[in-house]
Amino acid sequence: MDGNIIFRVEQITKSFPGVQALKGVDFTLRKGEAHALIGENGAGKSTLMKIMLGMQPPTTGIMTLNGKPYAPKAPAEALRQGISMIHQEISLAPLMTVAENIYMGNEARFGRFWDGARSKKRAAAEILSKLGLDIDPGEEVTRLSISKMQLVEIARAVSCSSDIIIMDEPTSSLTDAEVNKLFEIIAALKQEGKSIIYTSHKLDEVIRMCDTVTVLRDGQFVAEKPVSEVTKDDLVKMMVGREMSDMFPKTEAEIGDVVLEVKNFSCSGDIRDINFSLRRGEILGFCGLVGAGRTELVQAIFGLDKNSRGQIFVEGKEAEIKSSRAAIANKIGLLTEDRRGNGIIPELSVKVNMTVSSIREYSKYGFIDFKKEAAVCSGMVDAISIKCPSNDSVISLLSGGNQQKVILSKWLLTKPEVLILDEPTRGIDVGAKAEIYKLIGRMAKEGKGIIIVSSELPELFGVCDRILVMHRGRFTAEYTRSEFYEEQVMQSAFGMNQGGKIS
């Protein structure tokens, strides 16, 4: 037996009513190793991680930790045995300070009242300094950006002095500089003999940072390989059974008349002098660095910023949009970047999440026609291949890709002419991404005007007809498909050059 093995999963299965989530999965983690666990959404990664943490028991199979049987009944028990996790979805208490969040559940070590609070703050400052994170331990979490909240999650996991840290999509909200900082943290943890289980849909990160990769597909173990022996294309083929060249199925659509025009537009976040137009059948990308103002702009267009000024024209008519209800009435839909926070109602069903924005279509005299609602929902599930046990399934139990399809369905049912998609594929796997791209292409072919906000240049280059680049609250450049070159687009994002005239 390999003496470096710290954690082993053998022939784990997990069954739910009507679903076999895991089928005889093996996984081996060694001391001081960063081991990637990858697969499409629905491949079984989340279920396996929940079993590792004691959130769910396996149906069959065994786990061993340091050569001894391991079967935690709850995450607190896993933590006591040296296993902690950084969750993809932010799980901090927003009205508590950074220090209080880092040591939540571990308050006893600091004593009580004022002295305990000061000791906790000092300890948190030491952890943040050790990790090279410029975050005030006394800051209330609600005042932090999403990316800094993610870094606090990382600091909380490290503070537990765990031997094994599970990182679930830890870079989904981080800037490039923060991603580099995370890689430095992981390298330092490995030097200390800590082991990392790393899940990510960003295969560049897996190849750059991990030592070993295990691939799951449809709940089954596919392969374990040294990262040095595989390419991105190898990983994609193992995960989804097709080449990376199929990732961006660009659909050619007829570009028609202007459907949305924004003139002399300004809003919160120092966004000013915004002018652009969007045509029917066009997929328009908004590119820029984190903090450039892309999300603030599209939210203001959707009526979520009371301080916005300027003119918005939909189908040639000026529209007064000061609320989301007004935006929907003017045939504009917005898929937000924070799927968990404000995209879905996690405790409700697929059906309710899908029809919530168009419920008047299924109501009469204040009563919902449940039969009609169910029929429409079933039709949409079939039309865009949403995988769910039933329309009444709780949406939070679906994979990220299928949740995203439900949200897209919600907006399609409002019959929009303009659909704004803010980070539409964040946190979903390569297979689900390709399906989302096909759906976007289909909408464009139907004559919808599509705006995509994305931090991933390959995504924008793959699906967009035109890209507008933002820098510090202003559009600085415009590029058409023949001008899509990564270097010049990134230079524009950094404010180093300006492209052609913005129209």
Structural domains of the chain in order of their starting residue, each with its CATH number = 5-246 (3.40.50.300), 253-331+447-503 (3.40.50.300)
Give the pLDDT of residue 1.
43
Size of the chain in residues? 503
Work out whether strand 271-279 and strand 418-422 pair parallel, antiparallel, or are unpaired: unpaired
209 contact partners, CB below 8 Å, separation of at least 6: 34, 183, 186, 198
Give the pLDDT of residue 108.
57
For residue 500, how far is the Cα from the chain centroid?
32
Contact, 263 vs 311, CB < 8 A?
yes
pLDDT per position as a tens digit, 306-334 = 889 999 999 999 999 999 999 999 999 99
177 contact partners, CB below 8 Å, separation of at least 6: none
pLDDT per position as a tens digit, 176-233 = 788 888 898 899 899 999 999 999 878 888 999 999 999 998 889 999 999 999 988 8
Find, among 299, 224, 302, 220, the residue nearest to 47 by Cα: 220
Give the pLDDT of residue 362.
77
396 contact partners, CB below 8 Å, separation of at least 6: 344, 346, 347, 403
CA atoms within 13 A on the CB side of 139: 15
- Rounded Cα distance, 235 and 242, in Å: 10
Amino acid symbol at 6: I
Give the pair of three-digit tokens for residue 325. Answer: 């209800």
Secondary structure element (H or E) that encloses residue 68, with its range: strand 68-69
Residue 410's φ and ψ, nearest 5 degrees, are -55, -45
Sign (positive or negative) of CA dihedral 464, 470, 473, 476: negative
The 3-class SS string of 239-294 reads HHCCCHHHCCCCCCCCCCCEEEEEEEEEECCCEEEEEEEEECCCEEEEEECCCCCH
Residue with tokens 């200390």: 192
Q: In what order do the strands lie in the sheet with 309-314?
A: 271-279, 258-267, 309-314, 317-319
CA atoms within 13 A on the CB side of 110: 21
The angle at the Cα of 54, spanning 52 to 58, to the nearest 5 degrees, equals: 70
Distances (CA, A) of 407 to 122, 337, 355, 395: 43, 11, 10, 10
| Spans in the chain with pLDDT lower than 50 | 1, 114, 244
DSSP-based three-state secondary structure for 409: helix
- Rounded Cα distance, 364 and 374, in Å: 15
Residue with tokens 């759906």: 439
Largest Cα span, the chain: 73
Work out whether strand 195-199 and strand 34-38 pair parallel, antiparallel, or are unpaired: parallel
